[in-house]
């Protein structure tokens, strides 16, 4: 799609750390080639080291839960290797994000220590490479606003990043990976809330639960009762674009208070699960409205953004044909490429 000026490239460190030296060299070459391909397409690149929480061994808990985590030393060495590879690539067009969505609490005293250790290592390998910093609790807004940027100044040049999926009842409806029981059958939640009704959404939830043969009636009953409660809160609040503006204003206030220009703060992820052959989630017209609202709010605040994701359930293209979704392209303010 035309209109993008940079991409965020997630890299799972697990396969690199599990590989022998020869295979790891091949993987590093593949990563380098991917960055070069993006640069050749006139795109800047943020390389994000993104541990996979679904794996049994090379996961965030074992690698970045603390500086004493079992595999933190090897993770840190990998960050150093990636920084060293990137340092000579297109100065000012490539940046490194050492961690995706830190698992620590928003006000954790552990996360700043983990982040400082990784930034120190990265800076030792690449003295001028821009590095992305973030707050705890999954890089949520309240994690960033709890972050004290003063100790990070020694690592300049740095950028800041946060992720935005509020309200989760909309963006993550129907997501099977969510732990809370309400999300499994949640669907047809409108955006803005005024585009639908509590009764319509609850009817869709009941229909979805009726088709669910894997959960007991007792579990479904408990989940439905909780769903009624949280959806009442959602519809009573009537979230719309003003809701998003209010959240992003917290980031702007934090930036103003610390003298940080908004262009240095990247909304590194946002999006919503789509309804397709795999998922029953947000109505796709509502999804497009939500994504357009979040994108426009970020731009109004002066924050660069990266959309999650290119493909899969939160993507902007078909998983099989790789055809771009025109509604997503429009919602992101981009233009379809020539056919």
Give yes or no for a contact between 165 and 271, defined as CB atoms under 8 angstroms apart.
Answer: yes
Long-range own/partner contacts, residues 13-18 (CB < 8 A, 24 or more apart)? 13/49, 13/50, 13/51, 13/58, 13/63, 13/75, 13/78, 14/51, 14/52, 14/55, 14/57, 14/58, 14/59, 15/58, 16/78, 17/58, 17/71, 17/74, 17/75, 17/78, 18/57, 18/58
End residue of a domain, out of 221, 237, 253? 237
88 and 191 co-located in one domain: no
pLDDT at site 173: 99
pLDDT band at 2 (very low <50, low <70, confident <90, very high): confident
37 and 128 co-located in one domain: yes
Going by DSSP bridges, is the β-strand pair 158-164/131-134 parallel, antiparallel, or unpaired? parallel
193 and 105 co-located in one domain: no
202 and 111 co-located in one domain: no
pTM (2 decimals)? Answer: 0.97
223 and 268 co-located in one domain: no
Res. 19: pLDDT tops 80: yes
Residue 273 resides in a domain: yes
pLDDT at site 1: 54
203 and 57 co-located in one domain: no
143 and 191 co-located in one domain: no
Residue 228 resides in a domain: yes
Of 101, 100, 95, give the one whose Cα is nearest residue 45: 95
Residue 252 resides in a domain: yes
Residue 339 resides in a domain: no
Residue 204 resides in a domain: yes
99 and 233 co-located in one domain: no
Question: pLDDT for 49-108, tens place per residue?
Answer: 999 999 999 999 999 999 999 999 999 999 999 999 999 999 889 999 999 999 999 999
Residue 152 resides in a domain: yes
In sequence order, what E strands does the chain have? Answer: 6-11, 44-49, 94-97, 131-134, 158-164, 265-270
* Cα distance between residue 115 and residue 61, in whole Å: 15
Question: pLDDT for 207-232, tens place per residue?
Answer: 999 999 999 999 999 999 999 999 99
Res. 22: pLDDT tops 80: yes
pLDDT band at 304 (very low <50, low <70, confident <90, very high): very high
End residue of a domain, out of 237, 255, 274? 237
Answer left, alpha or beta for residue 138, where phi above 0 means left and psi between -120 and 50 means alpha: left
Burial class (CB in 10 A: 0-12, 13-18, 19+), 141: buried
Residue 280 resides in a domain: yes
Supply the Cα-derived Rg of the chain in whole angstroms.
Answer: 21
Number of domains into which the chain is organized: 2
Q: What is the CATH number for 301?
A: 3.20.20.80
Across the chain, mean pLDDT equals 97
Question: pLDDT for 257-296, tens place per residue?
Answer: 999 999 999 999 999 999 999 999 999 999 999 999 999 9
Give yes or no for a contact between 57 and 20, defined as CB atoms under 8 angstroms apart.
Answer: no
Domain of residue 201 covers 179-237
80 and 207 co-located in one domain: no
57 and 191 co-located in one domain: no
Largest CA distance in the chain: 59
20 and 144 co-located in one domain: yes
């Amino acid at each position: 799609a035309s209109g993008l000026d940079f991409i965020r490239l997630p890299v799972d460190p697990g396969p690199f750390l599990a590989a022998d030296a020869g295979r790891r060299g091949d993987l590093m070459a593949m990563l380098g080639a991917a960055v070069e391909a993006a640069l050749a397409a006139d795109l800047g690149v943020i390389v994000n080291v993104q541990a996979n929480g679904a794996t049994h061994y090379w996961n965030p808990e074992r690698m970045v839960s603390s500086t004493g985590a079992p595999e933190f030393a090897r993770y840190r060495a990998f960050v150093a290797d990636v920084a060293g590879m990137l340092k000579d690539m297109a100065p000012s067009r490539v940046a490194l994000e050492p961690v995706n969505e830190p698992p620590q609490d928003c006000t954790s005293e552990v996360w700043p220590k983990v982040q400082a250790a990784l930034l120190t290592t990265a800076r030792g390998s690449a003295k001028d490479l821009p590095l992305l910093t973030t707050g705890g609790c999954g890089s949520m807004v309240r994690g960033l606003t709890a972050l004290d940027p003063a100790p990070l100044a020694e690592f300049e040049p740095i950028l800041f990043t946060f992720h935005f999926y509020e309200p989760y009842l909309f963006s993550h409806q129907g997501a099977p990976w969510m732990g809370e029981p309400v999300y499994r059958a949640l669907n047809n939640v409108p955006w803005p809330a005024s585009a639908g009704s509590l009764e319509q959404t609850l009817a869709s939830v009941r229909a979805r639960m009726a088709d669910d043969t894997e959960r007991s009636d007792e579990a479904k009953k408990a989940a439905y009762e909780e769903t009624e409660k949280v959806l009442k809160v959602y519809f009573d609040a009537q979230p719309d674009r003003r809701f998003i503006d209010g959240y992003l204003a917290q980031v702007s206030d934090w930036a103003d208070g610390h003298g940080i220009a908004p262009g240095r703060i990247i909304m590194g992820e946002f999006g919503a699960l789509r309804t397709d052959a795999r998922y029953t989630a947000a109505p796709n017209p509502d999804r497009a409205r939500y994504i357009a609202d979040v994108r426009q709010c970020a731009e109004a605040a002066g924050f660069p953004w990266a959309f999650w994701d290119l493909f899969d359930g939160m993507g902007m293209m078909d998983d099989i044909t790789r055809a771009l979704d025109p509604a997503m392209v429009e919602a992101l303010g981009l233009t379809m490429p020539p056919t």
